[in-house]
Every structure is written in structure tokens, then in C-alpha cells.
Structure 1
Amino acid sequence: MTVEHIQRPSVSTSDKDHVIIFDTTLRDGEQSPGATMSFEEKLEVADLLDQMGVDIIEAGFPIASEGDFQAVAEIARQTKRATIAGLARAIPIDIARAGEAVRHAKSPRIHTFVSTSPIHLEHQMKKNQDEVLEIVIATVTQARGLVDNVEWSGMDATRTPIDFLARCVEAAIKAGATTINLPDTVGYTTPEEYCAMFENLRNRVPNADKAIFSVHCHNDLGLAVANSLAGLRGGARQIECTINGIGERAGNAALEEVVMAMKVRGDVLPYTTNVDASMLVRASKLVAAATSFPVQYNKAIVGKNAFAHESGIHQDGMLKNSETYEIMRPEDIGLKSSSLVMGKHSGRHAFRKKLEELGHQLSDNAFQDAFERFKALADKKKHVYDEDLEALIDDQVTRSADLIKVEALTVIAGTGGPQRATITLSVNGKHITKECTGDGPVDATFNAIKAAVDHTANLQLFQVKAVTEGTDAQADVSVRLEEDGRSFTGRGTDTDTMVAAARAYVGALNKLMARRAMGKSGVLAAG
């Protein structure tokens, strides 16, 4: 089965199977503590949502502040295709303010809500069921007098007795509501319960066929997306969601997740949307930047790791056929490609492929040596970047024919006394250990090398730079030695700067000693 086949619904769809995507990033999403967006950022997000095919944009809560009103009004003026909704409590002044904010929209909507659950009525509303029914009728009627498109929501619907909820739904539709939203306001329900609630209401409410039913799910139990999709099975045809799933408390159903669930699993979710999925990554990044809410690495669809593979087994499968470990193509959501992340779990196949991409063709022995050094590096660093691998190969090429090698190094540094270095070198296969002090750890290390290998070269250059960013970055050290008017340069890399310095010094020394030995017996002098 190919990815293309997976993404093509095996059950025919019709207009009845089209799902309206209602994005509330600018309203419910912005209610996340700390997620407030500026006026300009809201306009930018709304424009992108409109471009990507979102059907309805809930632009804000106009009564909340003058700034919110102005943002909703400007979005209403500028948006080219989407319906623009303004939220309003079941209070006349709220509804009037929302109507004023959206009146310039090409397609305006007022979304009004009232609590329906016993716990809300007792502790928050302090009203009985009959009083709430009167409020539903009055406020929906008022909203319908301002716009033709009215959505009514029963807040905390999933904890509301079904008989009372049915009475509210029937009354709202009779008063002019064109969309009925039954939110899982506190993320309490389960997929089976939510599906059954919609089926029950659509069967028992006489005028249910005159309105579109909508889901609005919160993620307190991690079920927002599952519940939203279950609502579709129960007959709902609008999903309220947010980019990156931001929202009150644990957030809302994530737009990118519900859209891709329907796209990938059309065989069991035979529904369609107008959303251009190739813009999902772009939208995710824009909202993350505007709200300063970073997307978790393992976030479904748009997380940094959603299309990244480090495990050797997974990388091997990906290199053979991407469908072994990916159920959708990265291009489908706006990514250029998947990534094989080089780390301690990577295998030989992925490592060789990465080296080939970097332009390195190694013999079997050289490859094995490079792979072992890569594994050692990966144990020290969380992330092994292309620059790290380039440095590793360059260092290996430099050291491959060395007669002097750094076997071990211990450095003692600090403010408590003279710095001390103990080094063990392999010189022509013979291990030599020396210990010296110096004016700093680098000087002590170089003095220990001089003591182990007799030479009179002068240090001309000592230079350190980081290969990549971060405190675990490899140090790239260059050393230049001069003897009898000739210069010899060595380079070393390691996450330990002192080890990199020792390797660089020894690298330069190898070149110097090799030239010196050319006219002699070929045996290096050891101290």
C-alpha cells in the first residue's frame, strides 16, 4: 500500500461529507495565558488562515477590549474568502458589539454561547433551566436580527443532561441559529460518549436538520482530536480547532492534526476539507512566533521531530522506502523533506549515506574508523551536525598516517595552583607518558608533549573556534609550529578543547617529525 493510496479516500464522499474548518486561534488560542498577539500579528495570522482555505475565522471577542474589537473589525474588512465570526456571551451588549465588529465582513457570523450544565448553572450562572432557555431564545433572536449566520454554543455541553440540552438546541434553531456547537468545554468526554451525544440529539431534536452541528473540544485528557473526529461520526460537520492546538489550559484540538487525520485516513474518515495542507508548517511557525509559544519537538504533524529519524533501524528503513516509517509525505504539510538525524542511535547505513551527501567516499577501513569516532562523538553530543562530521573526517584524514597519536590526556586547571597536564602518546607504537605544569592548561599540555617527543619547534599559532553552537559544541583547534624556517600546521577537533588542542599540536608535530626523519633512520626521537 503506497502513501498516495492511503491518502486517497476509499469511500466516496459527497457534499454531506464536507467538514467546515472553524479556526479559533485568534480567540480561544489567544486566551492561553501569555499568548496575546499584537494587532499586526492578528492580521497576519488571519490572512494566512484565509489563504490556506480555512472556512471560518473566529477573529476575537469584540466586547473584551477596544483592541480586540478593532482587530476583529479590521480582519472582517480585509479577509477575502473566509467567514469572520465574533464571539459574544448571551448578553445583549455583547451581541450588539460582535455584530458591529463583523458587519463589514464578506460573510459575517455572530457566535453566542451560554452555559447549560448543572454545575455552571448553579455556581456560575445562578439560574435555572427555564431561565437559561429564555436567554437562548432572546439572544439568538437578537443575533439573527443582525446577521444571517448565527452560531449557538451550549457551554459545557458534555456535562449537560441530554434532555435539557435537546430543549436548548431545539430552541436555538427555532430562534434562528444556523450552526449548533456542542463543546467539550473542560475536555471531559470520550470519543464514544461524544459520538453518541450527537447521534442522540440529531435523532430526537425535530428541527435538527435545519442546522449544522459543530464540535469544539479541549485537550485536558489528551482526547481533543479523537473526540472531534468522533463527533463527525455522530453527524457533526464543523470542527472548531486552533493552529498548534493552543488554547485554554491544555489547549484545543489542533487544526493540523484533524486535517491530516482526514487526509491520511480517508478509508475510515471519508471527509473532505478546503484546507491546503501544504501550508500547515508555515501556519504553525507563524503562530508559534506570534504567540511566543514554541511547538514541542514531538508535536504531531508540525513538531521538529515529526519527520526526523535517528534510530538506526528506522533510518535504514527510510533509506530503502520512506513508507516503512512515514504515513504521510513531508511535502504534504509544506516540508521539503524528512531528516535523518545523526546521533548515537544511527546505524552504518545512515552514516555512510550522510557521508556520501557530504561528498566523502571512504574505504572500508577508513569508514569503520570514522564510524567508531562518530559513535564516540555522538555519546558526548546531543546533536551531531553536518559541520561536526566534516570536522571529524578532516581530522581523520590528517591523522590517518600519523606516527604520533594522543592516547590519553588529563588536565588539572583552576585558581588553586599551577595548571598540570598528564599526557600519554603513542610514538611509533610505543606508549610514553609525561606530566608537566604550565602557565595555563594549554601551556601545560604542550609542555607535556614536548617532554614526550624531543623537538625545538616554536609555536607560531594557536587558534580555537567552535564547530557548531551550544555548550556541547566541538572545538576546532589549529596549531602552527616552526622549525628551521619551515612551518607545519595541525588541526584537531573534540568536544573537549584541551583534547582538540593536543591533537592539533601533535598533528603539526607529526608533519615536522616526518620531514626531519626523512634523512635519518625513520625512527622518531622520544624523550
Structure 2
Amino acid sequence: MRGRTTTTTTTTTGLAGRRGKTARTARTARGAARGTNEWTRKVVVRAGSSGEGADGVARAPRPAYVPGVISDPKYVRVFDTTLRDGEQSPGATLTSKEKLDIATSLARLGVDIIEAGFPIASPDDLEAVRGIAKKVGNEVYEDGYVPVICGLSRANKKDIDAAWEGVRHALRPRIHTFIATSPIHMESKLRKTPDEVVAIAVEAVKYARSLGCDDVEFSPEDAGRSDPEFLYRILSAVVEAGATTLNIPDTVGICLPDEFGQLIAGIKANVKGIEGAVISTHCQNDLGLSTANSLAGVANGARQVECTINGIGERAGNASLEEVAMSIFMRGQSRLAGAYTGINPVYIYPTSQMVKNYSGMAIQPHKAIVGANAFAHESGIHQDGMLKNKLTYEIIAPEQIGYFRGENDVGVVMGKHSGRHALSSKLKQLGVPMEGDALDEVFNRFKLVAETKLGGVNDDELLAIVRDGESVQDPAWSLETVQVVCGTTGLPTATVKMLAKDGTVHISAVVGTGPVDAAFKAIDALVGLDVVLTEYRVTAVTKGINSLAETTITVKPREGAEQKLGADVFKTNLQTGETAVRSFTATGADTDIVVSSARAYVIALNRMTEYVTKAYVVEAVASR
């Protein structure tokens, strides 16, 4: 339900991370009679970077970070692997700038550890991890925390060297090394005996520590199908070798919650030296149980959870950060022995939308927490309850996660007369603060859209305009104008004018099977890349005939053409050995579908051009 049906008021001295108390107080006579039960307390409180949490009382501050030790046994570290495991999703490719943007958003969200990538995978991956370590890994965020920057490596010196080179520039670097421990993996993939696997794991951890890294995480891959006694043995050995975090992956998502909880409890009880290491969970979603398994791990002693934004990842994906974090936020006090995290929920929705946009991975409408239907109510009975008291059918207020409904508590309507300062203030409220050139670019796009929109630009449309940014640092091509002629008679024709990187203007007019096809062919004639369109999706950002259209485009090199671009367009999963051609995704937003489509197409082609060009530069430097 999108209209203003709120039965609450908002008292705000700080929002979207600004310090101060932010509380939502229920205005209902029944609320007073009902008392402050678990649900009424939790749904009416919006979390800030400090101040009140889900139980309506001041949240404990985040404990000081020490590798292998958490001073408050109730605190759960959040380890985000969107940039590593999440990018392994089929079709997901992120540029270095996009990875940096996401890492910055994750840090603002309050993530404790950011796994920035798999540095050995390619020179570009190493460069991206290094860039995140230098920038995000050295900035102090709103609650005074500097995030740990982590790099993944297999259990060999070459991988570990690459990981250390990537993360060593961070104030708090971490190396995450792994080797498989299940019988099927040791026999079929590694072709190693259990004794050999233990020796390799110990050597890897010792080598990582010898480089000067005092924060080393070890994962026994496919722990869910491993013999528990063997897990106790190898984990005890790596702790003795210097591992500070023991991550337990349910790599194929085979475990049930009680089973995974027992596995964590057994590790806590039987691993020698466990008091000097933090137990972590990494749950895949093959059976749809990744969130439940992660919470079962927390209930049994795990104090780090590995997640991805929107649950993206290989196959069926990973544990969803927003689901795990909000579950702990809502139920940690009463059902998880007081467990809490450092996550600031008001940044969940903006971060989710950024990852969706950059990765090209759509969010299913009924996805918990961040899906389009998560706060929609169609049933008459539900609508009646919502009109009387939102607490009847919403256990989480959308504003808590940074999603503001069309008419909401923010109270500022953006239109063609709105100025730059108003836009800046609005973006801060929505959890996407901007300044400088980035703000100027969004402001210019906003004014163009606002001129054509009656009734102003709402929050969803404003976020779409933000997502419409190039996210390419130095675009090879810029779309100046696009004009189409089409109808029931004649041939659909598109004329596009584009500005090349060198400042020259190029014009092309091409006939197509429809207006969008003609526009794409006209762009192809100028850009000269031979690509295949693998996804084309148009969605209305809001309801109504004058809604902003958001177009998502995914392209990849045509078969045979990838050889001309270079081997780096191939994406290899070093864990499985599988190779696929990289895809490039972009979105465009406009009230005109043809314009939004053309913008998205040009951005996707620019991303491919930037990726290949940068890869050649990085490889040339690396080979010197």
C-alpha cells in the first residue's frame, strides 16, 4: 500500500546515519492498552548510527575490533562477500568503480568485514581490491569504525601473495584462505589425502601470518558434507598455526538448520584453542535455508555471519545480508541470547538498489525486506488493518531500512523548482549522500526529468535517476540526442547524435524493426562493438501514465568477437574452473522508453570498453 495511511509520527534529530535519537512513536489508543510488547516496541523504532535499537533502548556500541576476539560475546560481526561471492553470479560483472561504490555503501551500512574480491583471479580484480583497501579501508565511518578489508585465496603461496598485495594497504587487512575438506572434494577434486589437506591448510595459514597479516580467516570448503571429527582436527591445527577466524561454509546448501546449528556447537566444543578464534558461518541457499542456517549458527555460538546484499551468488545464492541483519535486529534480544550487529538498517534499501543496478540481478518482488511487494498490501482485510494500525501487518517499518513511501515522513516534494541544496538534503535522507561533481550530474538529470513530470519527482523516481549515472569514469561515448520515427506506416527509423571521447560529434540514422531496435543499431554503427543483447527489461518506477521508465540492458561479446577484445572478457571461477564470457549490465531512466533504452545501451557498451581498456593497461603494468 503506497498511499499515506500512517498511524505514526516521527521525531527526528538525526537520520540516515547522522548522530542523534530517531524514534517513531505509535499514535493509537489501542497501543497504550496493549502495552509495549515485543512487536510494538520493535516496529516503531528507526535505527540510527547510534541511539535506539529494535527493543526501544539504547544499542550497545560496536566493540573495538581485535582479530580473533570479540570483547562483547553478544556482538555478531557481519562479513559481506557481495564483491567476491556475489559477483560470481552468472551474468554479474562489476567494474572497479562500481566495486568501490558498493564497498563505500557497505561501510556506511556498518558492515564489519568487506571481502573485496579474489585478487589472483585477474589483474583487474587485484587492482579493484587494492583500490578498496586504500580508500574504504582507511576511512573512519559514522560510528568511528574502519572496516576490515579481506581478500580470498586458495591455500597456496601465489594466491596468498596476491591477496596480501591487495589488502595490505588497508588499516585492517585480512587474508581469507580455504581448502576443501569433504570426502568427495578431497578425493575427486583435490585428489589429496586428509593428512595432506591438513598439512596444506596449516602451511597456508602460517605463510599468510609470515607476511605480516595478523588477521587470517580459514574456511574448510564444503564443511556441511565433511566429517565433523576431521573438521575438529583441521580447525584445531589452523588455529594453532595462527588462524583468527574459522569460517564454516555450507558450500552446497545441504544442511538443515538444526543440523548446521549442531555442527557449529560441535566446533565450539571440540576445537582446541577455539577461545582464540571467532566462529563464522557461510551458508548457500540451494534449499532456501541460508538465512535460517545462519541464524542457527548464531544461536549455537557463531559470532560472524557471511552474507551478500540481496542474497546474490552462485547457483541459488548466499545468505541475504538484509534478512540476516534484520532478523538479528528484530529477534536477537529475545531469541538469540541478546545478539546484535553494527548494521545501520536505514542504509539497507539504498545499498540493495545499488547492487541490483550494478550487477543487473533483478530482485524478485516478494523478496523479504527489499522486494517491491515487501511493504505492499492488496488484500481487503490487510488493507483495513493497515488503515487502522500499521502494526497489524508490518513487523518492520519500511523507513527503518531506508525505503520511504511516496507520501511519507520525509515531507519534501521534489519538483522543477527545487534547488541543488534541496536535492542534496533529500539524497542524504534517502541514504545516498552526494556532493561535488556527482551531485551536479544527478541534479542536471533531475531537472530534465522534473520538467516533464506533473506532481513532482517522488523518492523511487529520484533513486532511479541516481542509479541512471554512467558509473564509468571516462566514457568512450556520450549520448547527446536520440530521435525516432515510427508508426503503422513506414519503416521505424532512429537518428542518434553521440559525442566521442575526443570531443568529436558523430551522427547515425538507421532503420530497424522497431524504435528501440533502430536506436540500438544506430548506436552500434557509431560505437563499432559486436555484441549480443542478452537481457532487455523495462519497468515502471511508479504507477501512472507519466511514470519514469527504468530500462535494464545486459550485453556480451558476440561469439567469436570476444577473441578480438582479448582473453580478459572471459570470467573464470577459480574454485570450480568454469569459464564464461563476461556480461555487462546497465540501466537508464527517462519518461521516454526509447531514451531510457538508448541511455542504458550506451552505458553498457561504455562499461565493456572501459573494462577491456583497463584490463590491457593493468596487464601491461603487471608484466613489466
Same fold (TM over 0.5): yes
1:26 and 2:83 matched: yes
- Which of these residues, 210, 214, 220, is aligned with residue 145 of structure 1? 210
The residue correspondences of 1:224-303 to structure 2 (distance < 5 A) are: 224-266=290-332, 267-269=334-336, 270-303=338-371
Residue in 1 that maps onto 2:372 = 304
Contact 1:198–1:236 at 8 Å: present in 2 too?
yes
Deviation per CA, 1:123-156: give whole Å up to 9, x if none: 1000000000100110000011120000000000
Paired with 1:32 and 1:336, the residues of 2 have a C-alpha distance of 29
- TM-score (norm: length of structure 1): 0.64
Paired with 1:87 and 1:336, the residues of 2 have a C-alpha distance of 36
Secondary structure of 1:57's partner? strand
- Which of these residues, 100, 115, 126, is aligned with residue 58 of structure 1? 115
Contact 1:307–1:339 at 8 Å: present in 2 too?
no
- Which of these residues, 162, 187, 190, is aligned with residue 122 of structure 1? 187
Paired with 1:257 and 1:5, the residues of 2 have a C-alpha distance of 16
12-21 vs 170-179, greater mean Cα deviation:
12-21
Deviation per CA, 1:37-65: give whole Å up to 9, x if none: 01110010001111111100000000000
The residue correspondences of 1:48-197 to structure 2 (distance < 5 A) are: 48-79=105-136, 80=139, 81-146=146-211, 147-197=213-263
Paired with 1:300 and 1:339, the residues of 2 have a C-alpha distance of 22
Paired with 2:362 and 2:170, the residues of 1 have a C-alpha distance of 32
Contact 1:308–1:339 at 8 Å: present in 2 too?
no
Deviation at 1:468, TM superposition (A): 1.7
Secondary structure of 2:152's partner? strand
The amino acid across from 1:29 in the alignment is: G
Query: Cα distance 1:339–1:128, how it changes in 2: closer, same or farther (>3 A)?
Result: farther
Paired with 1:40 and 1:116, the residues of 2 have a C-alpha distance of 36
Paired with 2:240 and 2:192, the residues of 1 have a C-alpha distance of 22
Deviation per CA, 1:78-119: give whole Å up to 9, x if none: 012210000000111000110111110010000000000000
Paired with 2:389 and 2:229, the residues of 1 have a C-alpha distance of 53
Secondary structure of 1:250's partner? coil
Contact 1:113–1:152 at 8 Å: present in 2 too?
yes
Residue in 2 that maps onto 1:477 = none
Paired with 1:235 and 1:28, the residues of 2 have a C-alpha distance of 24
Residue in 1 that maps onto 2:100 = 43
Paired with 2:267 and 2:356, the residues of 1 have a C-alpha distance of 37
Paired with 2:97 and 2:309, the residues of 1 have a C-alpha distance of 18
Deviation per CA, 1:388-420: give whole Å up to 9, x if none: xxxxxxxxxxxxxxxxxxxxxxxxxx99xxxxx
Query: Cα distance 1:5–1:73, how it changes in 2: closer, same or farther (>3 A)?
Result: closer
Paired with 2:324 and 2:42, the residues of 1 have a C-alpha distance of 19
Secondary structure of 1:182's partner? strand
Residue in 2 that maps onto 1:332 = 400
Residue in 2 that maps onto 1:481 = none
1:202 and 2:202 matched: no
Deviation at 1:3, TM superposition (A): 2.9
Paired with 2:203 and 2:368, the residues of 1 have a C-alpha distance of 42
Paired with 1:232 and 1:282, the residues of 2 have a C-alpha distance of 26
Contact 1:330–1:338 at 8 Å: present in 2 too?
no
Secondary structure of 2:150's partner? strand
Paired with 1:175 and 1:98, the residues of 2 have a C-alpha distance of 18
1:17 and 2:74 matched: yes
Contact 1:112–1:153 at 8 Å: present in 2 too?
yes
326-335 vs 199-208, greater mean Cα deviation:
199-208
Residue in 1 that maps onto 2:40 = 3
The amino acid across from 1:78 in the alignment is: K
Deviation per CA, 1:442-479: give whole Å up to 9, x if none: xxxxxxxxxxxxxxxxxxxxxxxx96279xxxxxxxxx
Deviation per CA, 1:144-200: give whole Å up to 9, x if none: 112000000000001000111111100110000000001000000011011111111
The amino acid across from 2:278 in the alignment is: I
Residue in 1 that maps onto 2:545 = 468
Residue in 2 that maps onto 1:318 = 386
Paired with 2:150 and 2:545, the residues of 1 have a C-alpha distance of 47
Unaligned runs of 5+ in 1: 341-385, 388-413, 416-465, 471-527
Paired with 2:305 and 2:544, the residues of 1 have a C-alpha distance of 47
Residue in 2 that maps onto 1:404 = none
Paired with 1:62 and 1:339, the residues of 2 have a C-alpha distance of 45
Paired with 1:315 and 1:201, the residues of 2 have a C-alpha distance of 47
Secondary structure of 1:16's partner? coil
Deviation at 1:337, TM superposition (A): 3.5
Paired with 2:377 and 2:94, the residues of 1 have a C-alpha distance of 34
Paired with 1:162 and 1:174, the residues of 2 have a C-alpha distance of 18
Query: Cα distance 1:193–1:467, how it changes in 2: closer, same or farther (>3 A)?
Result: closer
Paired with 2:109 and 2:546, the residues of 1 have a C-alpha distance of 35
The amino acid across from 2:357 in the alignment is: A
The amino acid across from 1:190 in the alignment is: L
Query: Cα distance 1:304–1:467, how it changes in 2: closer, same or farther (>3 A)?
Result: closer
* Percentage of pairs with the same residue: 51
- TM-score (norm: length of structure 2): 0.54
Question: Which structure ranks higher in relative contact order (CA pairs < 8 Å, sequence separation ≥ 6)?
Answer: 2
Residue in 2 that maps onto 1:432 = none
Unaligned runs of 5+ in 2: 1-36, 44-53, 61-70, 140-145, 409-453, 456-487, 490-542, 548-624
The residue correspondences of 1:320-469 to structure 2 (distance < 5 A) are: 320-337=388-405, 468=545
Paired with 1:246 and 1:324, the residues of 2 have a C-alpha distance of 31
Deviation at 1:204, TM superposition (A): 1.4
Contact 2:84–2:115 at 8 Å: present in 1 too?
yes
Paired with 1:126 and 1:210, the residues of 2 have a C-alpha distance of 31
Query: Cα distance 1:118–1:235, how it changes in 2: closer, same or farther (>3 A)?
Result: same
Moved over 6 A (4+): none
Counting matched residue pairs gives: 349
* Two-structure CA RMSD over aligned residues (Å): 2.4
Query: Cα distance 1:315–1:149, how it changes in 2: closer, same or farther (>3 A)?
Result: same
Secondary structure of 2:335's partner? coil
The amino acid across from 1:52 in the alignment is: L
Deviation per CA, 1:289-316: give whole Å up to 9, x if none: 0001111110000001101111111111
Secondary structure of 1:47's partner? helix
Paired with 2:407 and 2:292, the residues of 1 have a C-alpha distance of 28
Deviation at 1:339, TM superposition (A): 8.8
Secondary structure of 2:329's partner? helix
Contact 2:178–2:221 at 8 Å: present in 1 too?
yes
